[in-house]
Structure 1
Amino acid sequence: MKPYLLSAAVAVALAGGTWLSLRPDPKAQAQAAAPAEGAALVAITLPATLSAQADMGKRAFDAACLECHGENATGRAGFGPPLVHKIYEPSHHGDMAFFAAVQNGVRAHHWRFGDMPPQDGLTRSDVANLVTYVRELQRANGIN
């Protein structure tokens, strides 16, 4: 074999080996992009203050919804979607959708978290306050 062909073959092998060792691993990229289980799914801006009704709604939310929908309705990876999200804007999911979800549960349709069961122990007043809380969070984040 001629020396220049051997040199070219070695150069190609080295370049190929370098490329293979430095290329990004698609599996590692996908894992890095996915939030850890239980982590918040969105980052939000909190309102400077809450109305009295929203403050009561936050207490109801923290007692009944936080476990799945996360602190301040930011969602929880592996558990439930964020409610501070365009999908839940008033023109798509009106206030009555929240009442129906609490009373009847919800079949999974926008997200892959599974079905939401009905929530016991919340009065209509609790849910009204809870909706006020979520809407104030949404408005603080440009979701009207």
Structure 2
Amino acid sequence: MTARRAIAVLGGLVLVAMAFWYAQRPGGDVSGEIDLATLTIPDLTEDQASGKALFDRNCAACHGANANGSDQGPPLVHRVYEPSHHGDMAFLLAATRGVRAHHWRFGNMPAVEGVTNDDAAKITAYVRALQRANGIN
């Protein structure tokens, strides 16, 4: 085998390995780690309830009922979005400015038209309450 052919074969193997790795990343199972049937819904404070109403109106179409994901967007009740990895500011910026895809294969998230910083803070409070109730701290 020539050196050029060996490099081409090795390159092909690397591409296959990368494709396999990419297919194993989060996003294949959009339900996340917590099934809707077992999702714990906590009692909500007034701000969190306001955040739920805003979430239902602005986010649920993509992120699913109670932030558990859909075929349009990832679950937010997922360890990827724990506060130590995606702080509250990341949620605010995603909602108000949009964000490039980096954990999932749903594509870039556009800014949510009409969502203010205050709205995003209430939505985040609601999502954090769901996360805590489901063991994501």
TM bucket normalised to smaller: 0.7 to 0.9
Q: Which of 1 and 2 has greater Rg?
A: 1
Could you say which residue in structure 2 is the equivalent of 1:138?
131
Say whether residues 1:63 and 2:46 are aligned partners: no
**Structure 2 CA distance for aligned equivalents of residues 107 and 127 of structure 1:** 18
Deviation >4 Å, runs of 4+: none
- CA RMSD, 1 decimal: 1.5
Give the one of 76, 82, 85 matched to 1:89: 82
> What is the identity, as a one-letter code, of the residue corresponding to 1:51?
T
> What is the identity, as a one-letter code, of the residue corresponding to 2:123?
L
**Structure 1 CA distance for aligned equivalents of residues 108 and 131 of structure 2:** 23
| TM-score normalised by L of structure 2 | 0.73
**Structure 2 CA distance for aligned equivalents of residues 127 and 111 of structure 1:** 21
Q: Deviations over 1:86-135 (max 9, x none)?
A: 00000000000011101221111100011100111112111111000000
The percent of aligned pairs where both chains have the same amino acid is 56
Of stretches 114-123 and 131-140 in structure 1, the one that deviates more from structure 2 is: 114-123
> What is the identity, as a one-letter code, of the residue corresponding to 1:45?
T
| Native 8 Å contact 1:40 1:74 kept in 2 | yes
Could you say which residue in structure 2 is the equivalent of 1:24?
none
Could you say which residue in structure 1 is the equivalent of 2:15?
none
Say whether residues 1:114 and 2:107 are aligned partners: yes
Of stretches 133-142 and 118-127 in structure 1, the one that deviates more from structure 2 is: 118-127
**Structure 1 CA distance for aligned equivalents of residues 61 and 108 of structure 2:** 15
Could you say which residue in structure 2 is the equivalent of 1:52?
46
| TM-score normalised by L of structure 1 | 0.70
Q: How many residue pairs get matched?
A: 106
| Native 8 Å contact 2:77 2:130 kept in 1 | yes
1:70 CA drift (Å): 0.1
Structure 2 residue ranges without an equivalent (≥5): 1-27
> What is the identity, as a one-letter code, of the residue corresponding to 1:88?
Y
**Structure 2 CA distance for aligned equivalents of residues 40 and 82 of structure 1:** 7
| Native 8 Å contact 2:97 2:110 kept in 1 | yes
| Native 8 Å contact 2:41 2:130 kept in 1 | yes
